[in-house]
Structure 1
Amino acid sequence: MFSFFKKKSKETPAIAPAPEAVATPATEEPTPVAEAPVVATPEAEIIEEIVTAAPLRAEQKRSWLQKLKAGLSKTSTNLTTLFVGAKIDDDLYDELESALLVSDAGVEATQFLLDALKKKVKSEKLTEAQQVKDALRALLIEMLAPLQKPMVLGRHQPLVMMIAGVNGAGKTTTIGKLAKHLQTHHQSVLLAAGDTFRAAAREQLAIWGARNDVTVIAQESGDPAAVAFDAVQSAKARNVNVVMVDTAGRLPTQLHLMEELKKIKRVIGKGMEGAPHELLLVIDGNTGQNALAQVKAFDDALQLTGLIVTKLDGTAKGGILAAIAKTRPVPVYFIGVGEQIEDLQPFNAEEFVDALLS
């Protein structure tokens, strides 16, 4: 189910447990923490290979597709009932337009799909409702396909991920699930509790760290950028593969907090050239057009590399991915339809559309 790239050496160094770091004072250029001795490794040729996780068992695959279909059922009902015994006329197109808008596909994506569908119906001389539905399926897959992109591992050591999102989007829980997925790809992970404002956020991340046997760099208060910097230095010293930096949840309209995100990004870059390598935004699939506004605002501020869309279970706003694809096509790495670890899976355009139109 997962297709990642990683770089593999002939010998893998042992990774010592990292101590809790004491973050430096709030400065633009925090002082590095004292580095633990690096485990020496012999020089080895670095090769690049495709690593594919063990495929989901047949029953696991069915379970995932059933959960996805159930999660999108409210959106699906609005779309699929239109084609039951329908005539191919203006009334059908009007009803389809309303259904797409209600699903939060957005005006631009909706108009594009309707124009393309009418053209396809005319050029291919489609006369049956099922044929029109199949044509819509093909158009939706074509629209969403550019969002389907695998996460690439092993490009840097460590690979630094900075993860943002508004409060309530499921950001911290998603970080815990993603850490577990990375471990299944033989990646060692270190978490940075960059939300220094809320004790609950640090505690939640600590719980996920304990559950996954992952070190968490945290402090009770202070500069989140310093915590992120310390985490990167700790990971470099211990040859950890991936650093995931949690950040405080905020609304894109809170300009002073958005500026702080930019500062965290800059300070991480001072700790490791070229980092952060992944800038991910976690969005709640239930928030529809508000989620699209978040994507635009955070992308403008941080230049996002990927999205994780959570809480698609039970939403009537599944069309939001079409709006994202048409107006701000940031890759969707993962989608989530539940609370379990296995309920977070890589985004697959064909599976998503089939669940939407089944």
Structure 2
Amino acid sequence: MFSFFKKKPVTPPEAITPAAAATAVPAPSVPAPAAAAPLLVEEPAPRQSWMARLKAGLSKTSSNLSILFVGAKIDDDLYDELEAALLMSDAGVEATTYLLDALKQKVKQDKLLDAAAVKAALKQLLVELLLPLQRPFELGRHQPMVMMIAGVNGAGKTTTIGKLAKHMQTHNQSVLLAAGDTFRAAAREQLMVWGQRNNITVISQASGDPAAVAFDAVQSGKARGHDVVMVDTAGRLPTQLHLMEELKKVQRVLGKGMEGAPHETLLVIDGNTGQNALAQVKAFDDALHLTGLIITKLDGTAKGGVLAAIARVRPVPVYFIGIGEKIEDLQPFVAAEFVDALLGE
């Protein structure tokens, strides 16, 4: 579940002013939390309603898979149809082959004779495959914790940053945002709207070096005693090598601004992009050494099977999945719940 470690309050040093080229949208100071021993807590969320919407979003894949087990015989025809359905769900060749081989072995070992038992076995195997991707998101490990957010244009990156910032605020985390997407003015303005709506300071430049914005944000975050600094970056395709080099530069500069930063390097992925999502994970992970993923837009046309492909080929943790535009539409990834939505009860 969405979770973090509460931390002891830190007395913020005297605030500093960002570099002259940078501007900041001010926000009211957030009071430090009361002194407490580290504690793991969970995010309250309307899970039942959200699960219903997730199932609706993945209903196309769910119906394609579930119908195969209705009155089916356990034979080669069933396995052939299941292979086609898994490939159509964007699970990819490697994950599909792995699941089918494991399923055939389990059917033989456990002497499964009916379709319902085979479906239950497939669900168990899929949960086991996806479980390594399930990891709680922890805050309070650093002061501040610096997060770098990447993703291609259209993945919902800036909106996701706004949602995460709001979630963190509800847990008494003071957040500073850095509008590092200096290539697209609309992204900077969109982030500022999120900042103004939620009383969050946004470090921004009208133009210039995104690495400089990131550095200013880290320095301001340290000086003002913020708990979290989230750095937006320009959306780009992994094939745009010169822009990927710019991302590496931002990451290096964050490390100069604070030792060990960024503490989280996240990639936001559009759940509708199918196997292209796996290609993005590979490319960005090779360049930035990703610590986590956020999968968005699982709300209608997304097939969902790409998480199996990611788990099999490049198992970067999936911290959150999203199904819509509302704050509550971004929820922690839970493997068993996702498989229930993907395969039905």
- State the TM-score, normalized to the length of structure 1: 0.90
For 2:86, the equivalent position in structure 1 comes to 100
1:50 counterpart (12, 15, 40)? 40
2:300 counterpart (299, 314, 317)? 314
Contact kept, 8 Å, 1:17 with 1:215, in 2: the verdict is no
Q: How far apart are residue 121 of structure 1 and its match?
A: 0.5
Give the whole-Å Cα distance in 2 for the aligned partners of 1:351 and 1:315.
Answer: 19
* 1:113-155 CA distance string (max 9 Å, x none): 0000000001001011000000000000000000000111111
Give the whole-Å Cα distance in 2 for the aligned partners of 1:224 and 1:20.
Answer: 14
Residues 1:349 and 1:19: Cα distance change in structure 2 (over 3 Å): same
Q: How far apart are residue 211 of structure 1 and its match?
A: 1.1
For 2:109, the equivalent position in structure 1 comes to 123
Residues 1:267 and 1:14: Cα distance change in structure 2 (over 3 Å): closer
For 1:226, the equivalent position in structure 2 comes to 212
What is the SS of the residue equivalent to 1:7?
A: coil
Contact kept, 8 Å, 1:18 with 1:215, in 2: the verdict is no
Q: How far apart are residue 15 of structure 1 and its match?
A: 9.7
For 2:260, the equivalent position in structure 1 comes to 274
1:113 counterpart (85, 99, 108)? 99
For 1:2, the equivalent position in structure 2 comes to 2
For 1:201, the equivalent position in structure 2 comes to 187
Give the whole-Å Cα distance in 1 for the aligned partners of 2:15 and 2:108.
Answer: 64
Identity of aligned residues (%): 76
For 2:197, the equivalent position in structure 1 comes to 211
Residues 1:199 and 1:164: Cα distance change in structure 2 (over 3 Å): same
Give the whole-Å Cα distance in 1 for the aligned partners of 2:312 and 2:305.
Answer: 11
Question: What is the letter of the counterpart of residue 334 of structure 1?
Answer: F
Give aligned pairs, total.
337
2:77 counterpart (74, 77, 91)? 91
Q: How far apart are residue 198 of structure 1 and its match?
A: 1.1
Give the whole-Å Cα distance in 2 for the aligned partners of 1:21 and 1:243.
Answer: 17
Give the whole-Å Cα distance in 1 for the aligned partners of 2:8 and 2:332.
Answer: 22
What is the SS of the residue equivalent to 2:324?
A: coil
Question: What is the letter of the counterpart of residue 104 of structure 2?
Answer: K
Q: How does 1:243-262 map to 2 (within 5 A)?
A: 243-262=229-248
* 1:277-314 CA distance string (max 9 Å, x none): 00000000000110100000000000000000000111
For 2:125, the equivalent position in structure 1 comes to 139
Q: How far apart are residue 184 of structure 1 and its match?
A: 1.4
* 1:241-294 CA distance string (max 9 Å, x none): 000000000000000000000000001111101100000000000001101000
For 2:149, the equivalent position in structure 1 comes to 163
Contact kept, 8 Å, 1:287 with 1:317, in 2: the verdict is no
Q: How far apart are residue 45 of structure 1 and its match?
A: 8.6
For 1:186, the equivalent position in structure 2 comes to 172
For 2:316, the equivalent position in structure 1 comes to 330
Q: Structure 1 unaligned runs (5+)?
A: 25-32, 34-40
Q: How far apart are residue 78 of structure 1 and its match?
A: 1.2
Q: How far apart are residue 22 of structure 1 and its match?
A: 3.5
What is the SS of the residue equivalent to 2:269?
A: strand
Residues 1:189 and 1:17: Cα distance change in structure 2 (over 3 Å): farther
Residues 1:14 and 1:157: Cα distance change in structure 2 (over 3 Å): closer
Q: Structure 2 unaligned runs (5+)?
A: 25-31
Residues 1:88 and 1:22: Cα distance change in structure 2 (over 3 Å): farther
Runs of 4+ aligned structure 1 residues displaced above 6 Å come to 14-20
What is the SS of the residue equivalent to 1:8?
A: coil
Give the whole-Å Cα distance in 1 for the aligned partners of 2:288 and 2:36.
Answer: 31
Give the whole-Å Cα distance in 2 for the aligned partners of 1:74 and 1:340.
Answer: 23
Residues 1:129 and 1:190: Cα distance change in structure 2 (over 3 Å): same
* 1:210-240 CA distance string (max 9 Å, x none): 1111000001100000000000000000000
1:75 counterpart (61, 72, 95)? 61
For 1:22, the equivalent position in structure 2 comes to 20
Residues 1:79 and 1:195: Cα distance change in structure 2 (over 3 Å): same
For 2:327, the equivalent position in structure 1 comes to 341
Question: What is the letter of the counterpart of residue 65 of structure 1?
Answer: M
Q: How far apart are residue 23 of structure 1 and its match?
A: 3.9
Question: What is the letter of the counterpart of residue 7 of structure 1?
Answer: K
Q: How far apart are residue 16 of structure 1 and its match?
A: 9.2
Residues 1:201 and 1:52: Cα distance change in structure 2 (over 3 Å): same
What is the SS of the residue equivalent to 1:63?
A: helix
For 1:27, the equivalent position in structure 2 comes to none
Give the whole-Å Cα distance in 2 for the aligned partners of 1:262 and 1:111.
Answer: 35
Question: What is the letter of the counterpart of residue 42 of structure 2?
Answer: T
